Amino acid sequence: MRHGKKTNHLGRKTAHRKAMLANMACSLIEHKRINTTVAKAKALKQFVEPLVTKSKVDTTHNRRIVFSKLRQKDAVTELFRDVAAKVGDRPGGYTRIIKLGNRLGDNADMAMIELVDYNELYNAGKPTKKKSTRRSRRGGGAKAVAPAAATTASKEEE
């Protein structure tokens, strides 16, 4: 029985699997999207999302933790500088998996995994959302609306 064993081994030994995921994560950070199989994309999503969360707080400790997983200095630098700045307000879900169909050679399920905030096609229709403050329930907003409505009504009468 394999109760409580969630990791997909991807048909590889531990060292090979860790090296492959580190290389794929570095490619994803560098190119912002990569094509791979669906199983590898799901494993990569579980691997890279905690690293992006770590990169939102730029400390030496977090850089060392991320470097121990990725093992490429330039990928760590780009993750902490560019990617973390872009996803700073997002609470999670930094990657998106889009299924592409089957590969011609061996009929494997293919997918594209990408960083969410870097896709211009999905983000083109959405305006940039400005930070909204939390409003109280006391009705302070109604007082601000009333004078504006009164001034427009007086302009129409003239």
Angstrom CA distances, 5 to 11, 96, 125, stand at: 15, 24, 41
Model confidence over 108-124: pLDDT tens digits?
999 999 999 998 887 77
What pLDDT score was predicted for residue 26?
98
DSSP state of 88: T
pLDDT for residue 126:
66
List pLDDT tens digits, range 34-52. Answer: 999 999 999 999 999 999 9
pTM of this structure: 0.77
Provide the percentage of residues in the chain whose pLDDT is more than 70.
80
Give, rounded to a whole angstrom, the gap between the first and last alpha carbons of the chain. Answer: 83
* Eight-class DSSP state of 83: I
Q: Please report which helix (H) or strand (E) contains residue 39, including its range.
A: helix 38-55
- Domain range list for the chain: 14-128
Q: With a cut of 70, which residues of the chain have pLDDT below it?
A: 126-133, 135-136, 139-158
Structure confidence at residue 122 (pLDDT): 76
Provide the CATH topology of domain 14-128: 50s Ribosomal Protein L17; Chain: A, (3.90.1030)
